[in-house]
Structure 1
Amino acid sequence: MTIHVSAFRWVPPFAQGHVRDLRVRWALEEAGLPYQAALIGPADQTSETYRAWQPFGQVPAFRDGEVELFESGAIVLYLSRQSPALAPKDEAGRARVATWILAALNSLEPHIGQLALTDIFHKGETWTVERRPQIVAMIEKRLQQLEAWLGGKDYLEGRFTAGDLMMASVLRDVPDDILSRFPRLEAYRARCIARPAFVRALEAQMAPFRENAPAA
């Protein structure tokens, strides 16, 4: 049965290329699994039909005829067990991939997300002046720790896996002026997103945004 992944028809420019269905599209491209995007808008998000698929009205949601999932991390973790392109075949190797997927989502992304709150959603508000340096300090601490682990390796476990996919996806949201202080991670992010599968996934997400852009 055809794989379906929900995605937005259009989002504001600041979010384009960063909506989380991109992570699932990338994993599917790496695995060589064809899929169809189920494009939704604001009305769909609040519908009973879509909420039965994705309880919070967000994207992505996923179905392949056997399972229905939501949350990008859960979907990528599921896909990592479907393809050797995303994880080793042995159980120990798969467990390591799961560890890195969860590390990206739990140890790094919450802090990076807070920076988006101060720099985008609450830009200019008084409280951000004191809060932002604290957030940056925590992000830098995590990046320092991650860079120490990476060392001279190309990828977290020596070969590209779904763990790198998720980690690079999270690192894309780190402002360049912060990530540039960590040259190994900067090169790592660039290496991951230079992969042809990522390029195809990004274009697949961006195409509907161009097609459904509001009239000027």
Structure 2
Amino acid sequence: MIPTITAFERSPDGGKGLARDTRVRWALEEAGQPYNVRLVSFQAMKEPAHLRLHPFGQIPTYEEGDLALFETGAIVFHIAQRHPVLLPDDGHARARAITWMFAALSTIEPPILELVTAKFQEGDKPWTPERLPLVMDRIRRRLDQLSARLGNADWLDGAFSAGDLLMVSVLLRLRPSGLLDEFPSLAAYVARGEARPAYKRAFEAQLAVFTGQPPAG
């Protein structure tokens, strides 16, 4: 059965691949799994039909038969479990890949989202000039730790996995801030993720929603 995911009818990121449906699209593309997309407006996201799928009125959601999921990490984990290309066969390596999935969403992403909030949602608040440097320093500490762990490796733990997929997706949010450029190994790591054909297909599909043009190829 072909799954259906939801995505913004009009993405606030302007088609830059930062909306979370891109992460799910990327996982499905890596798995070679066809999928359908149902676009939802901001109004529709708050209506009962969508809230039955996502109680917090967000995207993406994932439907496959009588299974309905929300939360990007849970959706990517479900896809990875179904398609071994995203998780190693070896039990220990698999557990480590899953650990990196959690690390991306629970350790690396929160301070990055705090920066987004401080700059764009609370940028006019009187405390913002003092808060921003503190938030950026917290991000730098995490990036320094992540860079040290990655070292000269291509991926976090051997072959590319769902852990890398989520980590690259999270780090992409830093590009506008310039912080990623302070860590060349991480910038190269993100570039390797973006160079993957599956990521390119996912990005182009999300961009096509914004531009109204079909994906290339």
Match of 1:72 in 2: 72
Aligned AA for 2:160?
F
The Cα shift of 1:124 comes to 3.6
CA distance in 1, matches of 2:139, 2:183: 11
Aligned AA for 2:136?
V
Aligned AA for 2:178?
D
CA distance in 2, matches of 1:16, 1:50: 24
Identity percentage over the alignment? Answer: 44
Gaps of at least 5 residues in structure 2 are none
* Conserved? CA contact 2:15–2:206, under 8 Å: no
* Conserved? CA contact 1:7–1:38, under 8 Å: yes
Match of 2:33 in 1: 33
The Cα shift of 1:13 comes to 4.5
Match of 1:43 in 2: 43
CA distance in 2, matches of 1:184, 1:113: 22
CA distance in 1, matches of 2:19, 2:95: 26
Aligned AA for 1:90?
D
CA distance in 1, matches of 2:12, 2:166: 23
1:162 paired with 2:157, answer no
The Cα shift of 1:14 comes to 5.1
CA distance in 1, matches of 2:2, 2:29: 14
Match of 1:61 in 2: 61
Residues 103-112 or 7-16, more deviating: 7-16
The Cα shift of 1:123 comes to 2.2
Question: What TM-score comes out, normalization by structure 2 length?
Answer: 0.93
Q: Secondary structure at the match of 2:82?
A: coil
Residues 163-172 or 78-87, more deviating: 78-87
**What stretches of structure 1 move > 4 A for 4+ residues in a row?**
13-16
- The 5-angstrom pairing of residues 139-150 of structure 1 reads 139-150=139-150
1:109-144 Cα offsets, whole Å, 9 max, x none, are 110001101222222432110001110111000001
CA distance in 2, matches of 1:179, 1:145: 13
Aligned AA for 1:89?
D
* Conserved? CA contact 1:6–1:61, under 8 Å: yes
* Conserved? CA contact 2:30–2:198, under 8 Å: yes
Gaps of at least 5 residues in structure 1 are none
1:94 paired with 2:94, answer yes
CA distance in 1, matches of 2:120, 2:154: 32
The Cα shift of 1:55 comes to 0.8
Query: How many residue pairs end up in the alignment?
Result: 212
1:7-60 Cα offsets, whole Å, 9 max, x none, are 011023557421101000000000000000011112321221111111111000
CA distance in 1, matches of 2:150, 2:16: 29
CA distance in 2, matches of 1:137, 1:180: 15
Match of 2:22 in 1: 22
- The 5-angstrom pairing of residues 118-197 of structure 1 reads 118-175=118-175, 177-197=178-198
1:3 paired with 2:18, answer no
CA distance in 2, matches of 1:13, 1:157: 30
The Cα shift of 1:181 comes to 1.2
Q: Secondary structure at the match of 1:19?
A: coil
* Conserved? CA contact 1:17–1:206, under 8 Å: yes
Question: What TM-score comes out, normalization by structure 1 length?
Answer: 0.93
1:160-190 Cα offsets, whole Å, 9 max, x none, are 0000000000000113521111111110011
Aligned AA for 1:211?
G
Residues 197-206 or 122-131, more deviating: 122-131
